[in-house]
Amino acid sequence: MNPNKRPDNMERITTPALANAFIDEQVALVREQVGKNKVLLALSGGVDSSVVAALLIKAIGKQLICVHVNHGLMRKGESEQVIDVFGKELDANLIYIDASDRFLDLLAGVAEPERKRKIIGGEFIKVFDEEAKKLTDVHFLAQGTIYPDILESDGVKAHHNVGGLPEDMKFELVEPVKLLYKDEVRVVGEALGLPHAMVYRQPFPGPGLGVRCLGAITRDRLGALREADAILREEFDKCGLAEKVWQYFIAVPDFKSVGVKDGKRYEGWPAIIRAVNTTDAMSATIEEIPYDILHKITDRITAEVDGINRVLLDLTPKPVGTIEWE
């Protein structure tokens, strides 16, 4: 039997009872696979890595070593949530690395999107590698591989390690949710007691806000983007759009326009709202946001976020526009 193929008779996990049965099964399998050895996990705070972390904590406790790298491009409150949930509530063996300055210094003056991505991905590998080499007796690497990852790579996950870790880092893989679809992972996450907001966190690219702070990233514009994005998410939560829209975010381009603030001319950046629905990310439609909500979001962003003086709405479906701007 192919361990990377979902059995035809495997029931879809849709209820807490089915989720708990799956958790019990995986806890036993992980304990059998790992024994007394240590397991390393790159914990991003995303749905898949968070559910794997919670499941492994239940199975092997402090034998799991979670490494959370804050690259300075997280959304507001995300790293803090990882520390609160895993470091405090679940008492995980958590290593938190604030590498914000390291990443932002490397990105200074870099405007080309693909170069930004390579810098962020490459530096993440270095930081994770440095931390892994400080540890001893780690024989296993846990990953949040899910079934669509396997399907998209013809049965073998393309990178088969976190972000493409160096080939000399030899670990046996632990992938407890690799036969689950995303909706099943969420049901399991809820059964494990993770916060609803973490389990239903919307897709977030690996480079984070780095591909939404368009062009060369500056700390002041990145800060404005983070605050504006937090307001958008807060208002979507309040009005019920958060559960209805697949992905929504702010992008801030690298140009300014003139405005008026406190009776004086004021140059600021525009904040661009993007809200899309999709089933497979290959195509996407635009969510129609009621104007009263748009007005409230605009009022709050322009009043509360220093440096932003306009709010725009992106009405472009995919195709022709991609979901992300960069």
Mean pLDDT, 10 residues at a time, the chain of 326 residues: 88 97 98 97 95 98 97 96 96 97 98 97 94 91 92 51 53 95 96 94 91 98 98 97 95 96 93 94 94 98 97 97 95
- Please tell me the distance from the alpha carbon of residue 197 to that of residue 195, in angstroms, as a whole number: 5
Phi, psi of 112 (to 5 degrees): -75, 120
The per-residue pLDDT for 297 is 98
CATH number of the domain located at residue range(s) 212-313 in this protein: 3.30.300.10
Element spanning 183, H or E: helix 182-191
**In this structure, are strands 64-70 and 93-98 parallel, antiparallel, or unpaired?**
parallel
The per-residue pLDDT for 159 is 38
Domain with CATH 3.30.300.10 in the chain: 212-313
The per-residue pLDDT for 179 is 96
Domain with CATH 3.40.50.620 in the chain: 16-199
pTM value is 0.88
Compute, in degrees rounded to 10, the torsion defined by CA atoms 194, 40, 123, 197. Answer: 0
How far does CA 275 lie from the centroid of its chain? 17
Phi, psi of 39 (to 5 degrees): -125, 135
DSSP-derived secondary structure letter, 249: E
- On whether the CB atoms of residues 131 and 97 are closer than 8 A, the answer is yes
The per-residue pLDDT for 161 is 41
The per-residue pLDDT for 228 is 98
- Please tell me the distance from the alpha carbon of residue 63 to that of residue 37, in angstroms, as a whole number: 7
Annotation: CATH topology of 16-199: Rossmann fold (3.40.50)
